[in-house]
Amino acid sequence: MTSTHLHPKACTRLHVKSGEAEGSPNADTDTETTEAAHVVVDEETLRHDLETAIEEEDYAQAARLRDELRHLREDGRSSLLAANARFYDAFRDGDLAAMHALWAKGEHVYVVHPSAGRIAGYDTVMRSWEMVCDADYEFPLRFDLQDVEVHVRGDLGYVTCLEMVKTRGSGSWGKQIATNVFEKVGGEWRMCIHHASHLDDDE
């Protein structure tokens, strides 16, 4: 936990474009259109309906479902990137209150800090972050995230990235490969796994 190669925090805030507001159908809308307007469902259901529409050769419906599925995935990626940015904001600033708020609660959550073993359970994970934030660093840290990739599958999502971090007085950047796993809790992304592994300069 005292390694000088601890991971970074977000230097720039992501500007996430929100999805279009969904209008409610007016009184003149017929039953079929009203039902179509309310097909705001999860990804698995949309995929199933899309496959059914294709099998039934209802290509107009398939095209609508394909576009809904694409928009749903884009919205999920944007909101997941925003949650990932909040995590790095909290880390950069040593903000323990924000760190406590963004993690999922439970024994299934865990963290692996660079050069340390797995720490499991919400309370223990939070104590580990208290140790990190109480370490002899001057916050905010300087950092940069590179090679960011985001993946969403229903109520689970993960972000992988290369963390570049520099503490005050340090002449070099620490490098970590990180995987951040999130789950939907009450409609919001909450972190459940953070795993960062130190990279040597020749890797």
How confident is the model at residue 59, as a pLDDT? 82
Domain ranges of the chain: 1-13+30-203
Q: What is the mean pLDDT of each run of 10 residues along the chain (203 residues)?
A: 38 32 38 35 77 88 81 81 95 93 97 93 96 79 90 94 84 90 94 93 58
Token pair of 192 as six digits: 């459940």
CB 190 within 8 A of CB 109: no
Reference 191, options 51, 114, 82, 45; nearest CA is 82
How confident is the model at residue 41, as a pLDDT? 55
pTM: 0.67
Token pair of 127 as six digits: 């104590």
Torsion on CA atoms 150, 75, 87, 203, rounded to nearest 10: 10
pLDDT tens, position by position, 113-167 = 998 899 999 999 999 999 988 877 777 788 799 999 999 998 999 999 999 988 7
Unique residue bearing structure tokens 């020749």: 202
How confident is the model at residue 62, as a pLDDT? 81
Q: What CATH class is the domain 1-13+30-203?
A: alpha beta
